[in-house]
Chain A
């Protein structure tokens, strides 16, 4: 299994997810420099968290134009597995690989804490190690995680079962996102963007008793080992 984690200038969770993929799940993992043009044959691409290019404009708005992104988009449109975490999710939105947009958190403050999530769709490549409607816990850490999509777009997300993760309820929603959305996939199911950080809760030592991020990666691994068939 081969995975690539894109490093943009200002990415700061690239090593965290690299460590989880390579050390816990034995992916042959590359950090891919943003100025590269071509991708090797990856089974999984990750756009990590951080503040790409400082995020002084809208989060992800500059990263979308990074040299590597053309290849990332080609890879995604060809059905390759792409996971965007936090800033990575924002970049996927800016690249139109996922629908909707991200606004500043409704209380205007950065928030870093554990939140409860509901697995709204456990039939994706990324989530089939969770139970349906299972309540899990993951950390969030962002200033712009207030996901927005218009009514029509929202209906389409719902109809196609693209809302993968929701904050468990209104009081768990740390940013004011529409419908408590925490993570969505594309219609085809090969691209997942989420605000929570699964790489921060994949090891017992830093997340005792609730490695809920682990199962997101183990879902991917199981699917790849089963021959890369897309589920859902």
Chain B
């Protein structure tokens, strides 16, 4: 081993010294490689653990919190939902199609190893400016990759969100949330227990693809990152579909002790983590691992990230049960070793020992760093925007431009390439505040959403993090659901940069406070650092994936206005603020200024009000105000049924802020005229600000004397915008 072999493995000199100290000897090449991936940020969370430990992870509904492949929440009737979000940013930056595809493959495996059948996926995507050719290539490639893998495996892609902003140009974000349904009795864990129980590798054969992908994910992207393309794995959705079916059959068979996905750091992390969770050891002989390439070294076999593989520990004597099930699905299942009671991860190559490390050392003893933080310089100069510079002389035109900006425009071009209906549970699909899925055979349903406005988080990480949680919850509530829990996909730049770490720490603090207030615990998630390109770091983007429950499917609400003559109300209040808005981007090509205020008490009351009104069956439509402000919110509610609005609001704030300001904690609802008193009683009893702002009418969109447009024209611009830019 070269003198600085640790560097090749992405470790520091101090970490290397610690390894030598702990082992009381120098590591072998294979061992050092194992430490390299296990102590990478991707696997060890060494730079984030100390910040994340304050996240609220407990709650009435939580059956499994962080620490397993995915978290689980209870939804009653002895049923549960397992869900988690994961990033595949760097692979997607160099090979968008396979990067995105294998991102889906990875997170799906996390869900079904919990014993859950995946029933829905959502994608949270961020790209640079869509006028840029390279960005178009990445965008199209990622969408095609998701389409190819998700459609083939037969799990509907029901929602997500996409933002376009220059900061993501060289480093797009591809975060995938997968959601699975299971019975309590079928909850599986990734634990190796019981000395003598066999350890089996099932699924695909191991090749040289994706070696050290976890380390690649834990570094910044550079001009040379293209050379890392071999670190990107190639996905095979067909194989994954077989693996999914076989694994669920195996879990039902009762032959199983534990099962774990081989994701990042492949055989290394799966064996070390399974052993460590069970306070056991694992001994495997890599000569027994089915390989698809010749002359693979022990280093390569241990660190390969070949896709569609799992590590399985069945009860002793049940090896053939495993083999039979996997053979039925045309898959390998080979015994490669056994569980031991000495706590060691022992790797043999045809009987010869090539590595022997304490499993807990690898899985739990990675260094934990408290990184230096420094309030970013740019935050010192942020001030309210100069209103003179952003005055509008044509509000109708501004609204049309906002509706056709890629971030706000319809994402139909994208989601029509995704099968969002397979499994026949999709009650409300993509393009709504939250997707709604019925639970087959029951009267209830779940609501799913992902949210995060990175600009808010850049300009105010704490408030941005809190807003992401609030908006997710608001989306669930607008769909008729009760927010249950979240998964967080935390995407940031290089944590060694004190300003970046400050962003990280503060964003997480914001998430913590909002989660506590809204009683939505965090049941798992993912940290993705080093999201930087030569042009700099991305905006801090802590994506919140949330699951909500509808006690009865009849409580579902959609965002579209239903009938002429219905009354339109705003729950919440309009504030004279334009900071961080998409309107600013339109006017000065820069999102700047002061992030919208957030009053968590008000937020909670607004959500409670709409929930009560849903329960009382007076809400005909609900839609939360987000990017583009009230004017865009109202427009989006018009489109589905081609209805118009006659809105008249008298507010002592500027017209620009009234139309396009992005004040938080606001929900636009429509109700039948007969329900006026009932609705107002609910709002009053919750002491929440509200106002009647107008009525639903045919085709014409009229907002004060400021905007007068034909809904058909607005809709066609909004629908065509993305395709036109490609």
Chain B residues with CB under 8 Å of A20's CB are 424
For B424, give its contact among A9, A10, A19, A111 (CB under 8 Å): A19
A51 to B152, Cβ gap below 8 A? Answer: yes
Q: Which of A16, A54, A205, A206 contacts B238 (CB 8 A)?
A: A54
The docked-state distance in angstroms from the alpha carbon of A192 to that of B452 is: 47
Q: Which residues of B contact A16 (CB under 8 A)?
A: 422-424
Contact among B152, B416, B421, B424 with A54 in the assembled complex (CB-CB below 8 Å): B152
Nearest CB of A to B149, in Å? 11
- B176 close to chain A: CB less than 8 A: no
Residue interface bits B196-215, CB-to-A below 8 A is 1, else 0: 00000000000000000000
Contacts of A141 in B (CB 8 A): 151, 419, 421-422
A53/B423 in contact, CB under 8 A: no
Instruction: Select which of B237, B329, B421, B423 is within 8 A of A51 by beta carbon.
Output: B237
A12 and B241 in contact, given A111-B416, A206-B438 (Cβ under 8 angstroms): yes
A113/B152 in contact, CB under 8 A: no
With an 8 A cutoff between CB atoms, is B42 at the interface?
no
Nearest neighbor of B556 in chain A, beta-carbon distance? A205
Given the interface contacts A9-B329, A50-B154, A112-B417, does A203 sit within 8 Å of B424 by beta carbon?
A: yes
Once bound together, how far apart are the Cα atoms of A55 and B153, in whole Å?
A: 11
Against A, the Cβ 8 Å flags (1 = close, 0 = not) of B121-163 are 0000000000000000000000010011001111000000000
Q: Is B425 an interface residue, CB under 8 A from the partner?
A: yes
Minimum CB distance partner of A33 in chain B? B328
Contact pick for A206, options B241, B418, B425, CB 8 Å: B425
Interface residues of B, CB < 8 Å — how many?
Answer: 31
The residue in A53, A54, A111, A139 that gathers the most chain B C-beta atoms within 10 A of its C-beta is: A54
Nearest to B151 among chain A residues (CB) is: A110
How far is the CB of A116 from the nearest CB of chain B, in Å? Answer: 15
A199–B424 CA distance with the chains assembled, in angstroms: 8
Give A175-232 interface residues, CB cut-off 8 Å to B.
197, 199-200, 203, 205-206
Q: How far is the CA of A53 from the CA of B330 in the complex (A)?
A: 11
CB distance from B65 to the nearest CB of A (A): 31
Q: Mark A106-137, 1 if CB is under 8 A from B, else 0.
A: 00011111000000000000000000000000
Across-interface contacts of A139 in B (CB, < 8 A) = 421
B421 contacts A15, C-beta separation under 8 Å? no
Q: When the two chains form their complex, are residues A110 and B417 in contact, meaning their CB atoms are under 8 A apart? A: yes
Distance between A75 CB and nearest chain B CB, rounded to angstroms: 24
A19 to B239 alpha-carbon distance, docked (Å)? 25
Answer whether A10 and B151 are a contact pair too, CB < 8 Å, given A16-B424, A205-B553.
no
The residues in A between 3 and 44 inclusive whose CB is less than 8 angstroms from any CB of B are 9-10, 12-13, 15-16, 19-20
Chain A residue nearest in CB terms to B430:
A112
Residues of B within 8 A of A200 (CB): 421-422, 424
Q: Which residue of B236, B415, B416, B422 contacts A12 across the interface (Cβ within 8 Å)?
A: B422
Q: Are A112 and B419 in contact (CB under 8 A)?
A: yes
Shortest C-beta distance, B497 to chain A (Å), equals: 40
B427 touches A (CB below 8 Å): yes
Give complex CA distance A205, B553 in Å: 8
Given known pairs A141-B151, A205-B553, A206-B425, the reply for A54 and B237 (CB within 8 Å) is: yes
- Separation of A197 and B424 alpha carbons in the complex (Å): 10
Instruction: Tell me which residues across on chain B come within 8 A of A49, comparing CB atoms.
Output: 422
Which chain A positions have C-beta within 8 A of B440?
19
Nearest CB in chain B: distance from A35 CB, A: 8
B242 interface contact, C-beta 8 A: yes
Task: Tell me whether A143 and B424 are in contact (CB under 8 A).
Answer: no
> Could you tell me the distance in whole angstroms from the C-beta of A16 to the nearest C-beta in chain B?
5
Interface size, chain A (Cβ < 8 Å) = 29
- Check A110 against B147 for contact (C-beta < 8 Å): yes
List B contacts of A55 (CB < 8 A): 152, 238
Residue of B nearest to A112 (CB): B419
Q: In A138-162, which residues have CB < 8 Å from any B CB?
A: 139, 141, 143
Complex Cα–Cα for A13 and B426 (A): 14
Cα distance, A139 to B415, chains bound together (Å): 14
> In the complex, which residue of chain A has the Cβ closest to the Cβ of B415?
A112
Q: Is the CB of A206 within 8 A of B424?
A: yes
Chain B residues with Cβ under 8 A from A9's Cβ?
238, 241-242, 329-330
Complex: chain B residue closest to A109, CB-CB = B417
For the complex, what is the distance from the CA of A193 to the CA of B151, rounded to whole Å? 21
Which residues from chain A contact B424 at a C-beta distance below 8 Å? 16, 19-20, 199-200, 203, 206
Chain A residues closer than 8 Å to B151, beta-carbon distance: 51, 110, 112, 141, 143
**Assembled-state Cα–Cα distance A9/B423 (Å):** 16
From A10, A15, A143, name the one whose CB has the most chain B CB atoms within 10 angstroms. A10
Residues on B with beta carbons closer than 8 Å to the beta carbon of A19: 424, 440
Asked if B346 is at the interface of the complex by the 8 Å CB criterion, the answer is no
CB under 8 Å from chain A, chain B span 472-508: none
CA distance A53 to B427 in the complex (A): 29
A40 to chain B, nearest CB (A): 20
B420, B423, B438: which contacts A15 (Cβ < 8 A)? Answer: B423
Q: B residues within 8 A CB of A50?
A: 154
Query: Knowing A54-B237, A56-B238, A141-B421 touch, does A13 contact B416 (C-beta < 8 A)?
Result: no
- Chain B residues positioned under 8 Å from A205 (CB to CB): 427, 438, 553
Beta-carbon nearest neighbor of A197 in chain B: B421
Closest to A108 in B: B144
- Interfacial chain A residues near B239, Cβ < 8 Å: 54
Cβ distance B461 to chain A, nearest Cβ, rounded Å:
37
- Report chain A residues within 8 Å CB of B147: 109-110
Q: Tell me how far the C-beta of A197 lies from the nearest C-beta in chain B, rounded to whole angstroms.
A: 7
- Complex Cα–Cα for A49 and B239 (A): 17
Docked pose: A203 CA to B423 CA in angstroms: 13
Kindly list chain B residues whose C-beta atoms are within 8 Å of the C-beta of A109: 144, 147, 417
Is there an interface contact between B154 and A206, defined as CB atoms closer than 8 Å? no
The reply to whether A51 and B238 form a contact with Cβ atoms under 8 Å apart is yes
A19 vs B237: C-alpha distance when bound (angstroms): 24
A110-B151, A139-B421 given as contacts; is B553 within 8 A of A10 (CB)? no
Residues in A39-65 with C-beta less than 8 Å from chain B: 49-51, 53-56
Query: Please, how many angstroms separate the alpha-carbon atoms of A129 and B469 in the complex?
Result: 49
Separation of A54 and B239 alpha carbons in the complex (Å):
8
Contact at A54–B236, with CB atoms within 8 Å?
Answer: yes
Q: Please measure, in the bound complex, the distance between the C-alpha atom of A69 and the C-alpha atom of B427, giving whole angstroms.
A: 35
CA distance A205 to B444 in the complex (A): 12
The 6 A-B residue pairs with the shortest CB-CB distance in the complex, in nearest-first order: A12-B154, A54-B238, A51-B152, A141-B419, A16-B424, A112-B419
Q: List 14 A-B contacts (CB under 8 A).
A: A10-B152, A12-B241, A15-B423, A19-B424, A55-B238, A56-B238, A110-B147, A110-B151, A110-B418, A111-B416, A112-B419, A141-B421, A200-B422, A205-B427
Q: Given contact pairs A110-B147, A200-B421, enumerate 6 new A-B contacts (beta carbons under 8 Å).
A: A9-B238, A110-B419, A112-B418, A112-B420, A205-B427, A206-B438
